[in-house]
C-alpha cells in the first residue's frame, strides 16, 4: 500500500535554528555599520526567506528603502549561511519521528524558504539528511512559500498522490491551505499568532506524537 508523503518545513519545525540566524544577521549588520538586533526581533523575521529577513533588518535599522544595501547584505548573508550551523539543534524527538515515519513507508521531503544549499548543509551537520529523498528550498523556484508552487514541486518529486505538510508558522499554514494539503502544526516553533488562528488538521508540541497523527490522517 502506498503511504502518504510527509513534507516538512525546516526552521522552527524540525530544527531550532534561530540562534544561528540571529548570529549571522548581526554579523551582516556589523559589517554594514548598523545596529545589531535582539534575538527576539530577529526570530520574529524568520519564515519568509532571506530577502525578507534582510529587508526586515533594514527596516528595523531605519534603512528599509536602501535597495543597494539590501542586495549587498543578502549576498553576504547567503555566502555565510551554509556555515551557520553550530548553534542549531533539532527539536526533541525529531530523529525518532523521522525514523518511524520512514519505517512505516512514508516518503519524506523538505519544503522550506531557507536556501537549498544551507538546508542541505544543516541537515548533514545534524545527521538528519538521510530520511529525506526530496529537498525544495527558498531558491529552488522563483517564488517562495506561502506560494504553493514549492510545496507542489515537493509533492510531484516524491511521486505520491497524497501528501501531508508539517510546519510551525502562519506561512506554513497558508501554504498548505493554498496547496490543498492537510496541515499538521508544530506548536513550539516560530509562529506569532495564537494556535487557534492557524488552520490545521491537528497540532502537536512534541515530535513523538507526530507518527500517530500522520497515521490518523493517512
pLDDT at position 214:
97
User: Measured between alpha carbons, how far is residue 190 from residues 8, 99, 169 in Å?
Assistant: 14, 24, 6
> Exactly one of 9, 16, 139, 172 is catalytic; which is it?
9
Residue 158 sits at the vertex; the CA angle it makes with 154 and 161, to the nearest 5 degrees, is 95
pLDDT at position 64:
83
pLDDT at position 63:
87
CA-closest candidate to residue 210, choices 201, 194, 181: 201
- Could you read off the pLDDT of 116-149 as tens digits, one per residue? 999 999 999 999 999 999 999 999 999 999 999 9
Q: What value does the mean pLDDT of the chain take?
A: 96
The pLDDT of residue 215 is above 70: yes
Grid coordinates standing for 127? 545527521
- Could you read off the pLDDT of 92-109 as tens digits, one per residue? 999 999 999 999 999 999
Measure the CA–CA gap between 155 and 205, rounded to whole angstroms.
25
Q: Known catalytic residue: 20?
A: no
Own/partner long-range contacts of 35-43 (Cβ < 8 Å, ≥24 apart): 35/61, 37/61, 42/18, 43/18, 43/190
Phi, psi of 111 (to 5 degrees): -135, 105
The DSSP bridge pattern shows strands 163-167 and 5-8 to be: parallel
pLDDT at position 1:
61
Q: Which domains does the chain have, with CATH numbers?
A: 5-16+88-217 (3.40.50.1000), 18-81 (1.10.150)
pTM strictly above 0.85: yes
- Give me the mean pLDDT over the 153-171 stretch: 96
**pLDDT > 90: what percent of the chain?**
94
The CA-based diameter of the chain, rounded to the nearest angstrom, is 58
Strand spans (E) along 80-177: 89-90, 108-111, 132-136, 163-167
- Could you read off the pLDDT of 15-29 as tens digits, one per residue? 999 999 999 999 999
Lowest mean pLDDT among 26-30, 41-45, 62-66, 86-90: 62-66
Phi, psi of 198 (to 5 degrees): -100, 125
Roughly how many angstroms between the first and final C-alpha of the chain, as a whole number? 11
CA-closest candidate to residue 131, choices 112, 106, 163, 162: 106
- Give me the mean pLDDT over the 61-87 stretch: 92
pLDDT at position 113:
97
Amino acid at each position: 500500500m502506498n503511504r502518504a508523503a510527509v513534507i516538512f518545513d525546516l526552521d522552527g519545525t524540525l530544527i531550532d535554528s534561530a540562534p544561528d540566524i540571529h548570529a549571522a544577521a548581526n554579523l551582516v549588520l556589523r559589517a554594514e555599520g548598523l545596529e545589531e538586533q535582539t534575538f527576539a526581533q530577529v526570530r520574529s523575521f524568520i519564515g519568509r526567506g532571506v530577502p525578507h529577513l534582510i529587508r526586515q533588518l533594514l527596516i528595523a535599522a531605519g534603512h528599509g528603502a536602501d535597495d543597494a544595501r539590501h542586495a549587498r547584505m543578502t549576498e553576504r548573508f547567503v555566502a555565510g549561511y551554509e556555515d551557520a550551523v553550530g548553534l542549531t539543534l533539532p527539536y526533541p524527538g525529531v530523529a525518532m519521528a523521522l525514523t518511524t515515519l520512514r519505517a512505516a513507508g512514508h516518503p519524506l521531503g523538505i519544503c522550506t524558504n531557507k536556501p537549498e544549499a544551507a538546508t542541505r548543509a544543516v541537515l548533514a551537520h545534524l545527521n538528519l539528511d538521510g530520511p529525506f529523498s526530496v529537498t525544495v528550498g527558498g531558491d529552488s523556484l522563483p517564488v517562495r512559500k506561502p506560494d504553493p508552487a514549492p510545496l507542489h514541486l515537493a509533492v510531484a518529486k516524491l511521486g505520491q498522490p497524497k501528501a501531508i505538510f508539517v510546519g510551525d508558522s502562519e506561512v506554513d499554514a497558508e501554504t498548505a491551505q493554498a496547496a490543498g494539503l492537510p496541515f499538521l502544526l508544530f506548536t513550539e516553533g516560530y509562529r506569532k499568532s495564537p494556535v487557534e488562528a492557524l488552520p490545521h488538521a491537528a497540532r502537536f508540541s512534541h515530535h513523538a506524537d507526530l507518527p500517530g497523527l500522520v497515521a490518523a490522517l493517512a
